[in-house]
Amino acid sequence: MELLHRDHRIVVVSKPAGQIVHRGWADDADPLLQEVRDAVGQYVHAIHRLDRGASGAVVFALDAAAARSLSDAFARGEVDKRYVALTRGHPPAHLVLDYAIPKEPGGPRVDAVTELWCRETFGRYALVEARPRTGRLHQIRRHLKHLSCPLIGDVKYGKGEHNRLFRERYGLHRLALHAAQITVPHPDGGELEVRAPLAADLTACLDALRVDYGQPS
């Protein structure tokens, strides 16, 4: 865990891949919430989810009123989240995808919207920026699969042969999804924008891809 921002109402940290945010979402012994609580020396409120396999920015509140304010902002769609993803296949240069997906496993489909940019390509693979405008379970992963551009390292929605290739050739043993930036309305007014540097394993993978495909790093 890396502490990215702290003030008297909000803490933002960068979660490593493979760690859950809250013990209630799984039975792991070392959830991020407990680690943040220990690091700041006080109770913290988890505001939103980030997939276990993903890395990047996660917001916590330091008091109940801040937690309500931030949770309401998420519910109203006032939070801007930007993700970096590595995909098999190239999405369009820019696309706003409006495609309903189940709200929960086996549940009814609900509206889901993701804005996507294809930022760089490496042969059959692509570096994608994703901005989810709604907050559905596995939304980015499901939307990229719908576009036939599944995430590398995604064992649920991706392609096993490409996941194996990236493990063996590039040493990438995780979901290639990183929450790179988040902008939230601060409970005290104004906006808070926090960036999470790209995780080291993803940086190394991208550098190797650029070498393999003759592109500058």
Q: For the residues 153-180, what does the mean pLDDT come to?
A: 96
Residue 168 has pLDDT above 70, yes or no: yes
With 0-12 CB in 10 A as exposed, 13-18 as middle and 19+ as buried, what is 74?
Answer: middle
Nearest to 211 by CA among 122, 109, 128: 122
Question: Which one has a higher pLDDT value, 29 or 61?
Answer: 61
C-alpha–C-alpha distance, residues 166 and 85, integer Å:
14
The pLDDT score that the predictor gives to residue 107 is: 82
Residue 217 has pLDDT above 60, yes or no: no
% residues pLDDT > 90 (the chain): 88
C-alpha–C-alpha distance, residues 123 and 209, integer Å:
9
**Which amino acids are annotated catalytic?**
51
Q: State whether residue 150 is helix, strand or coil.
A: coil
Q: For the residues 149-153, what does the mean pLDDT come to?
A: 98
The pLDDT score that the predictor gives to residue 216 is: 59
Residue 192 in any domain: the answer is: yes
C-alpha–C-alpha distance, residues 146 and 130, integer Å:
14
Q: State whether residue 124 is helix, strand or coil.
A: coil
Radius of gyration of the chain (CA): 17
Residue 217 in any domain: the answer is: no
The pLDDT score that the predictor gives to residue 81 is: 98
CATH number at residue 189: 3.30.2350.10
Structure confidence at residue 22 as a pLDDT band (50, 70, 90): confident
What total of structural domains would you count in the chain?
Answer: 1
Q: The whole model's pTM is what? A: 0.93
As given in the structure block, the two tokens for residue 18 are: 């493979």
Domain that holds residue 134: 2-212
Residue 116 in any domain: the answer is: yes
Q: For the residues 205-213, what does the mean pLDDT come to?
A: 96
